[in-house]
């Protein structure tokens, strides 16, 4: 695919940022190869690509977090090389990262002005600082109390405060890296209002998101990357969705359609569920819930953020203590005090917090894969080297983990590939029940389809799966049963085969039993 | 994670929710500033209760001079706790503080004995403390080592140096030192304070000013809140992290000087375990060991609580002085549990 060179919609300005032929290499991984990116003032530019395509690397090369090996960065006609985020900020390039990078223990005012507070005789002029925070919040039309502690606000508001901080420096370029991944629809609308206001002031905005709807709603142009290479630069109106997806994943979208469900697996009457929860709850976290998971069944947990999805999976795994109710495995009562006892019953759990509770970034792919299996065998019985190598090779191939190098450090892998490693780690222990909390969050379409496919295959082989996802479409597509949660209560349980996304949305919205 | 779908749909995402019923209560329990203020209040109440109990139980306990003696006897600990608060606010710890106190007393006594002038001695001791602090801070930040291990090494180093300088205790006979130590500031009502107390309170006020009114101070809180964010916000993280250890080292050296005034001797075995008293005072004063939240004023209250317990036990006369330790242990545990509970209720829920 060739790079189509386009002028911005009205062709009035020169680009404020021009990156050309940027190459970044990490040990063993060529993250970017000769990539170009142009940002024009007064324009929202979307940076598109699968996980591992090099979006984050490109942003970090622009904002001075990473050094690039070759290529040039020109800002407002001047060639620059930033050595730190502070450097880039001084040149008018501010970044708001996916995880809000502010200090939640400080006030909103401080988070906006810290490091450049107005000072008088060496001391901070608090009144002037508050006025400045008030002014920038007003400029973005946000009603946030500047004296409140940041931690008291929901994540969406914190994100807006991060943007306020970014534009307080007279930013000419604002980079938004996955700003919407934890926001609900109203919050996204508010964020977009602010983004548009800044665009109209002439700020160039670089927007990264996995949500295609949002990209099409907000962006004027887009640059598509794949495997560290530039695929194309397009005006959003000229690029139909299907073509964008094809450019991003470089293959026809057959996998997704193939997944059109096989007939729902019927549970024979009288079968004993593999895992059965009766009135399982935890004070303050989840009201008592009944759930049955049979052999070869995929049970989905649907609900909004904070509905109790994660809480329920953690209770089923013993990661949190159950305060009411009983668990039965194969009809026998069990009591999980710690995850160890759940693992001993061959239950696996992949956490939604991939970085914090899942993979170990400083170990290699091989070590990460063999971790749970080794733990299961006990530390006194090391896995023979050759068996280990064979298993690792087999799973790297089976799950299409890239790069296919067992010695690569895990932190150098993209999110989707890290997730696959995490899955493979549990599969190595041959679990009979797998609890997957948001296994597809923040990963690209291709990897998502592969993971969905894998879940379907595993269930076909008789494994039981509990599948949690914020994307209802996904839950409805791959699950045999769908448990709907709302405000920490189970409000319904539906048969996956004759349920549509609308049914679930309707249930959650009404909050009642159908 | 915050539950984001429960707010009324008519509200814009950028608006704060209109003040829910008792606003001050929400503030106290839910906000970090609030819960910290709450901790300090709890400590203040505890102090008053302890003191009140003592006044009821023992004759002559509830007199102004007993209150003032809390300051007189603990001036060095106040300074030590102030330095420790800086380090703990960044999420670090300084285990070398007690050993640096001993080193300072020995250095001061030895130098004065050798005929150095008092001002020069003071300067040399403070500079040594600052230098030790700087070395430890640099190791913590630039080599990315655990503060615990670095300052443990610093503790052994400082304590070892004491013995290199002198094994037996050295008396201090310098006129400037002795006059500072033995002269009192008379206060109305026949009460008095030592000069050390004024030095300690000056340090305390300076620390409050630095922490709340300077960019350095706010960066200390930011680093303790989230070091990674602070770096991405373009703040001077390295200068701040090294800086807090320099401050703690200097405070330890100053505490050592005040302690040498109190004891009028320099001795290698002074101040054993004093760093732990300082840490206890800081924690009882409501500062989070994970960093990012707390006040030096709380640390002052913490020192006074420890002092009051000591006074209570000495007034009783019949109790072994080890009861002080036991009580402090129990209190410390209680405070950490309270902190845990309060951060849990304020923290994540999703």
Q: How far is CA B11 from CA A510, B22, B74, B295, in A?
A: 19, 21, 53, 35
* Residue from A96, A154, A509 to probe the interface with B (highest B Cβ count within 10 Å): A154
User: Could you give the 3-state DSSP secondary structure of residue A334?
Assistant: strand
In DSSP terms, which residues pair with A70 in a beta bridge?
A23
List, in sequence order, every beta strand (DSSP E) within A148-267: 173-177, 204-208, 221-226, 229-235
Q: Is B230 on the interface with A (CB under 8 A)?
A: yes
Q: For residue A310, what are the contacts with CB-CB under 8 A and spacing of at least 6? A: A352, A437, A438, A468, B350
- Whether residue B218 lies within 8 A of chain A, CB to CB, comes out as yes
Residue A299 β-bridge partners:
A466, A481
Determine, for residues B229 and A101 on separate chains, whether the beta-carbon distance falls below 8 Å: yes
Q: Which residues pair with A298 in a beta bridge?
A: A465
Does B16 touch chain A if contact means CB atoms closer than 8 Å? yes
Q: What is the pLDDT of residue B128?
A: 96
Residues paired with residue B259 on neighbouring β-strands, in sequence order? none
CATH number of the domain located at residue range(s) A17-250 in this protein: 3.40.50.300
Taking CB atoms and an 8 Å cut-off, how many pairs form between chains A and B?
142
Q: Which residue of A has its CA nearest to B288?
A: A105
Q: How many CB atoms lie within 10 A of CB B27?
A: 18
Would the CB atoms of B221 and A310 count as touching at under 8 Å? no
Buried b (16+ CB within 10 A) or exposed e, A436-452: bbbbbbbbbbbbbbbbb
Query: Chain B contacts of A114, Cβ < 8 Å?
Result: 215, 218-219, 222, 233, 235
Indicate whether B99 pLDDT > 90.
yes
Instruction: Using a CB–CB cutoff of 8 Å, tell me whether B222 touches chain A.
Output: yes
- Domains of chain A: which residue ranges? 17-250, 253-261+274-346+432-514, 358-430
> Can you give the pLDDT at residue B206?
96
The domains located in chain B, with CATH, are 38-50+67-338 (1.10.3470)
CA gap B18, B27 in Å, rounded: 13
Tell me what percent of chain A is helix, strand and coil, each rounded to the nearest 5: 35, 25, 40
pTM metric for this prediction? 0.70
Q: Do B221 and A105 touch (CB under 8 A)?
A: yes
Asked if residue B21 has pLDDT above 80, the reply is no
Quickly name the fold that domain A253-261+274-346+432-514 has.
Answer: Rossmann fold (3.40.50)
**Whether residue B319 has a cis bond before it, omega within 30° of 0:** no
CB proximity under 8 Å: B 172-211 to A: 209
Task: Tell me the C-alpha distance between B224 and B237, whole Å.
Answer: 10
ipTM score of the complex?
0.77
pLDDT confidence of residue A84: 81
Does residue A451 contact residue A439 with C-beta atoms inside 8 Å? yes
Q: Residues in chain A with pLDDT < 70?
A: 1-13, 27-29, 51-52, 181-182, 249-266, 305-306, 355-357, 442, 511-514
Asked whether B54 and B312 are in contact (CB, 8 A), the reply is: yes
Question: What is the nearest CA distance from B18 to chain A, expressed in angstroms?
Answer: 11
The answer to whether B267 contacts chain A (CB < 8 Å) is no
Interchain pair B235, A114: CB under 8 A: yes
Q: Is B31 within 8 Å of A152 when comparing Cβ atoms?
A: yes
Looking at per-residue pLDDT, the higher value among B159 and B231 belongs to B159
pLDDT at B155 (0 to 100) = 96
What distance in Å separates the CA atoms of residue A446 and residue A144, rounded to the nearest whole number? 39
Tokens of B4: 């984001």
B229/A152 touch (CB, cutoff 8 Å), yes or no: no
Contact list in A for residue B240 (CB cut-off 8 A) is none
Average predicted confidence (pLDDT) for chain B: 86
Are the Cβ atoms of B4 and A190 closer than 8 angstroms?
no
Per-residue b or e along A47-71, where b marks 16 or more CB atoms closer than 10 Å to that residue's CB: bbbbbbbbbbbbbbbbbbbbebeeb
What is the model's pLDDT at position B300? 96
Select from A101, A160, A310 the Cβ nearest to the Cβ of B14. Answer: A160
pLDDT in the model for residue B34: 59
B33 has a chain A CB within 8 A of its CB: yes
Tens digit of each residue's pLDDT (9 = 90 or more) over A170-226: 788 999 988 876 677 778 888 898 899 889 988 999 998 877 778 888 999 999 988
């Amino acid at each position: 695919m060739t790079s189509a060179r386009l002028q911005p919609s009205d062709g009035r300005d020169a680009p404020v940022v021009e990156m050309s032929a940027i190459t970044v290499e990490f040990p063993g991984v060529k993250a970017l190869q000769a990539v170009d990116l142009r940002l024009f003032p007064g324009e929202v530019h979307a940076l598109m690509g699968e996980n591992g395509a090099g979006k984050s690397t490109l942003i970090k090369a622009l904002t001075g977090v990473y050094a690039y090996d070759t290529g040039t960065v020109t800002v407002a006609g001047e060639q620059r090389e930033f050595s730190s985020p502070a450097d880039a900020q001084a040149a008018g390039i501010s970044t708001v990262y996916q995880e809000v990078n502010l200090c939640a223990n400080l006030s909103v005012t401080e988070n906006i002005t810290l490091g450049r507070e107005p000072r008088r005789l060496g001391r901070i002029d608090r009144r002037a600082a508050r006025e400045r925070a008030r002014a920038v919040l007003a400029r973005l039309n946000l009603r946030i109390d500047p004296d409140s502690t940041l931690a008291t606000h929901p994540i969406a508001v914190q994100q807006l405060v991060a943007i306020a901080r970014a534009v307080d420096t007279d930013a000419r370029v604002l980079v938004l890296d996955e700003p919407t991944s934890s926001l609900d629809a109203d919050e996204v609308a508010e964020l977009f209002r602010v983004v548009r206001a800044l665009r109209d002031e002439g700020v160039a905005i670089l927007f990264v998101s996995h949500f295609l709807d949002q990209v099409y709603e907000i962006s004027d142009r887009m640059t598509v990357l794949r495997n560290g290479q530039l695929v194309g630069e397009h005006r959003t109106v000229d690029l139909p969705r299907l073509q964008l997806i094809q450019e991003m994943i470089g293959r026809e979208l057959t996998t997704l359609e193939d997944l059109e469900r096989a007939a729902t697996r019927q549970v024979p009457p009288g079968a004993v569920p593999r895992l059965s929860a009766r009135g399982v709850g935890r004070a303050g976290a989840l009201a008592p819930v009944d759930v049955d998971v049979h052999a070869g069944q995929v049970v989905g947990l649907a609900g909004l953020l904070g509905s109790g999805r994660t809480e329920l999976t953690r209770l089923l795994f013993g990661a949190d203590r159950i305060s009411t109710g009983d668990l039965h495995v194969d009809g026998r009562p069990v009591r999980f005090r710690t995850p160890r006892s759940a693992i001993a019953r061959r239950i696996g759990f992949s956490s939604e917090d991939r970085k914090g509770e899942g993979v170990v970034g400083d170990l290699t792919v091989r070590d990460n894969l063999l971790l749970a299996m080794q733990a299961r065998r006990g530390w006194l019985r090391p896995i023979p080297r050759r068996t280990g190598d064979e298993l690792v090779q087999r799973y790297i191939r089976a799950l299409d983990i890239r790069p296919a190098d067992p010695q690569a450090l895990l932190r150098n892998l993209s999110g989707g590939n890290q997730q696959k490693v995490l899955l493979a780690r549990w599969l190595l222990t041959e679990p009979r029940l797998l609890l997957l909390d948001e296994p597809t969050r923040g990963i690209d379409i291709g990897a998502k389809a592969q993971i969905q496919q894998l879940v379907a295959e595993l269930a076909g082989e008789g494994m039981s799966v509990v599948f949690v996802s914020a994307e209802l479409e996904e839950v409805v597509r791959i699950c045999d049963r769908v448990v709907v949660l709302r405000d920490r209560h189970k409000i319904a349980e539906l048969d996956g085969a004759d349920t549509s996304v609308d049914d679930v949305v309707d249930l959650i919205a009404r909050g009642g039993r159908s | 994670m915050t539950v984001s779908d429960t707010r009324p749909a008519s509200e814009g995402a950028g608006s704060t929710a209109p003040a829910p019923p008792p606003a001050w209560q929400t503030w106290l329990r839910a906000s970090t500033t609030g819960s910290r203020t709450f901790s300090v209040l709890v400590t203040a109440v505890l102090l008053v209760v302890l003191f009140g109990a003592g006044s009821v139980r023992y004759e002559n306990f509830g007199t102004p001079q007993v209150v003032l003696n809390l300051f007189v006897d603990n001036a060095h600990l106040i300074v030590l706790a102030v330095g420790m608060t800086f380090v703990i606010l960044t999420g670090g710890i300084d285990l070398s503080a007690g050993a640096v106190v001993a080193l300072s007393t020995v250095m001061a006594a030895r130098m004065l004995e050798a005929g150095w002038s008092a001002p020069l001695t003071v300067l040399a001791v403070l500079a040594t403390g600052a230098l030790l602090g700087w070395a430890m801070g640099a190791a913590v930040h630039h080599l990315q080592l655990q503060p615990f291990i670095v300052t443990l090494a610093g503790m052994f180093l400082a304590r070892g140096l004491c013995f290199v300088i002198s094994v037996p205790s050295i008396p201090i006979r310098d006129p400037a030192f002795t006059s500072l130590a033995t002269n009192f500031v008379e206060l109305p009502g026949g009460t008095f304070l030592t000069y050390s107390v004024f030095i300690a309170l000056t340090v305390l006020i300076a620390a409050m000013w630095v922490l709340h009114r300077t960019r350095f101070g706010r960066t200390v809180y930011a680093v303790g809140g989230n070091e990674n964010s602070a770096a991405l916000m373009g703040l001077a993280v390295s200068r701040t992290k090294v800086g807090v250890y320099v401050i703690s080292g200097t405070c330890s050296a100053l505490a050592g000087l005040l302690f040498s005034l109190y004891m009028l001797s320099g001795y290698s075995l002074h101040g054993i375990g004093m760093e732990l008293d300082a840490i206890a005072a800081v924690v009882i004063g409501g500062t989070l060991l994970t960093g990012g939240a707390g006040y030096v004023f709380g640390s002052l209250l913490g020192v006074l609580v420890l002092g009051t317990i000591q006074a209570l036990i000495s007034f009783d006369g019949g109790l072994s002085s080890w009861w002080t330790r036991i009580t402090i242990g129990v209190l410390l545990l209680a405070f950490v549990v309270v902190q845990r509970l309060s951060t849990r209720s304020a923290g994540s829920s999703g």
